[in-house]
Chains A and B, each alone.
Chain A
Amino acid sequence: AQSVTQLGSHVSVSEGALVLLRCNYSSSVPPYLFWYVQYPNQGLQLLLKYTSAATLVKGINGFEAEFKKSETSFHLTKPSAHMSDAAEYFCAVSDQRGGGFKTIFGAGTRLFVKA
């Protein structure tokens, strides 16, 4: 069965500092992994996805994530935080079942960016 664990429900960084949001997953089959971002009163938007190509994945807004199979991790990073990065971030795992993909989300990490 799939599961996703996001370590830390809240993360606070200063503007210009490194952002690191942690995600560990479990899946019985090779997974597809995603990071989504949610701004207040909006739906989720895709930041980036891992689909078994390169293990280092680059996404929008300067974010990237590295797939580490041995650690079952898919941590999200950004070298320099910006005020506009303040939002909720969700890690998700997806695998294909008969009739499409089933996607499970983590509990989310809220990122605060201090001026």
Chain B
Amino acid sequence: EAGVAQSPRYKIIEKRQSVAFWCNPISGHATLYWYQQILGQGPKLLIQFQNNGVVDDSQLPKDRFSAERLKGVDSTLKIQPAKLEDSAVYLCASSQGREGELFFGEGSRLTVL
């Protein structure tokens, strides 16, 4: 079974530029999550999708971050314009709803200069 796929693995941009991250969850997983992990901290939930609907985006900085999950499968997270404090690893995870177990991709590391 293929795992959660994310791209790109690494991205370096300058502040005020834009960036997009892509995630393809495990086949059949209805729930998809984007987490932000700043160096030295635990993952922080940005947005949670159930199929193609948003369940929780309370911690998503909506003035600069956006996410979509078209057709309830893969998802894109966009940042525009980026700030220095957005430097982090963006983790995508999916779940098939069994007791909350999450399956993570390898993450996309963003450096904003």
Which residues in A have some Cβ–Cβ distance to B below 8 Å?
A: 4, 6, 9, 32, 34, 36, 41-46, 49, 51, 90, 94-108
Contacts and interface: CB of A to CB of B under 8 A. Distances in A.
A90 B43 CA distance: 9
Given A41-B106, A44-B91, A99 B53 contact: yes
Interface of B: 4, 30-31, 33, 35, 40-45, 48, 50, 53, 55-56, 91, 93, 95, 97, 99-107, 109
Given A6-B42, A99-B48, 8 more contacts: A4-B42, A32-B100, A41-B107, A94-B100, A100-B97, A101-B31, A103-B100, A106-B42
Contacts, number: 80
B94 to A, nearest CB: 10
A51 B45 contact: no
B32 to A, nearest CB: 9
